[in-house]
């Protein structure tokens, strides 16, 4: 399994001959190293509906005939736009040909901002994503704040790679993210959701240093790892 970080919370997973993307926010992402036309996607997993996570999903999905796996509300919203969707909800799991997806709870807001209409479109509860393939489990936490039920998730799932937000302001900051890592005890940690905007500037390397002896790396945009 190959994993590539593309800035903010954008994760590209290559497994079982498939390309899976999580939260493909590319246009407007100051940290992103690719263009929308570069993306090959069999499936897109969405944690929630904020513009910096739903991102370029519609364009990518239509171009690639991708399956979008998301909350029920996001599935309906994107279905109206001609996107192929598989709606799910918190606590539910489903096995696809590219891997198994289970959504966890997350604590923050979820809506899409339509600037031209000055409207907020409610898009259901936010979620984290547990993705299993090739005997490995990845956990993308989305934008969540710290919550104690992470201990239960750790009891139920041995996490190989954890994608944890550290930007603060909109998500956990480094101190709360460190606590989340201690509770979850993953094999490897990759910080996400930082340095995209001035208000979420953080030192990813310093965060990784703070969680020792748990291993991790602050991947640069475009940098890959194999597990």
Residue 106's pLDDT is 97
- Which architecture characterizes domain 2-217 according to CATH? 4-Layer Sandwich (3.60)
pLDDT at 116: 87
Q: Average pLDDT over the chain, rounded to whole?
A: 97
Q: What is the pLDDT of residues 131-145, one digit of tens each?
A: 999 999 999 999 999
Residue 20 has pLDDT above 90, yes or no: yes
Residue 200 has pLDDT above 90, yes or no: yes
In the chain, domain spans? 2-217
Q: Please state the rounded mean pLDDT for residues 212-226.
A: 98
Each residue's pLDDT tens digit, 61-79: 999 999 999 999 999 999 9
Q: What are phi and psi of 4, to 5 degrees?
A: -125, 135
């Amino acid at each position: 399994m190959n994993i590539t970080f593309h800035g903010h919370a954008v994760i590209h997973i290559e497994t079982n001959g498939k390309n899976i993307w999580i939260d493909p926010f590319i246009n407007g992402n100051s940290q992103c190293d690719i263009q929308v036309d570069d993306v090959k996607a069999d499936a897109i997993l969405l944690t929630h509906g904020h513009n910096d996570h739903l991102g370029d999903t519609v364009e990518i999905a239509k171009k690639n005939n991708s399956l979008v796996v998301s909350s029920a509300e996001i599935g309906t919203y994107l279905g109206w736009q001609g996107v192929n969707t598989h709606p799910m909800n918190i606590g539910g799991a489903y096995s696809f040909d590219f891997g198994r997806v289970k959504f966890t709870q997350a604590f923050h807001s979820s809506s899409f901002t339509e600037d031209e209409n000055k409207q907020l479109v409610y898009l259901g509860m936010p979620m984290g994503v547990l993705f299993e393939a090739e005997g490995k489990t990845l956990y993308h936490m989305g934008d969540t704040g710290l919550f104690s039920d992470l201990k239960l998730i750790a009891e139920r799932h041995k996490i190989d790679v954890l994608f944890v937000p550290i930007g603060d302001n909109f998500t956990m900051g480094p101190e709360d993210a460190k606590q989340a890592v201690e509770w979850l005890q993953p094999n490897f940690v990759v910080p996400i959701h930082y340095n995209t905007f001035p208000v979420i500037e953080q030192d990813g390397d310093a965060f990784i240093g703070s969680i020792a002896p748990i291993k991790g790396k602050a991947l640069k945009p475009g940098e890959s790892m194999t597990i």
